[in-house]
Structures are given as structure tokens and as C-alpha cells.
Amino acid sequence: MDDLFFTGGVFGGTRGARVVSPEKGVFPVDHECELEKKDYLNCLKTSGHQSETCREFSKKYLRCRMEK
């Protein structure tokens, strides 16, 4: 039991370890819904970032991500 405590802590993690986020574009879904993402972002841009106006584009984009 003492070995577990000293090698990584009670929960198995190491204290003081630096957390590094993944690089952009690492996940396949980042590249599979480009059209839907562009449509949604264009809608936001043209509507003055009124998300309720772009709800249908948002739904299409999220649906695409869920299906992948």
C-alpha cells in the first residue's frame, strides 16, 4: 500500500505534472464537418453573433459531429 502512495499518489496521478492540451486538428472530427462549421460561423458573422438566428446551422453542425 505504501508503494502506491509514493509512486503516484492515492489516485494514481503525479503531483506537479504539467498538463498539456492536445494540438489543434488532432481529432478526426475536426476535419470532417468543415462545411457545416463554415456555414454556422458565416451565419454568426452576418447576423452580428445572434446565435438564435443561426440555430438551424448550429443543429446541422452538431448533428454532423455526433454522427462522426
Residue 38 is predicted with a pLDDT of: 94
Q: What is the largest CA-CA distance in the chain?
A: 61
Residue 16 is predicted with a pLDDT of: 67
pLDDT in tens, the chain (68 residues): 455 445 555 666 666 678 787 777 676 666 789 999 999 999 999 999 999 999 999 999 999 988 87
Residue 21 is predicted with a pLDDT of: 77
Residue 39 makes CB contacts below 8 A (sequence gap 6+) with: 57, 60, 61
Residue 8 is predicted with a pLDDT of: 54
DSSP helix/strand/coil, 51: helix
Residue 35 is predicted with a pLDDT of: 94
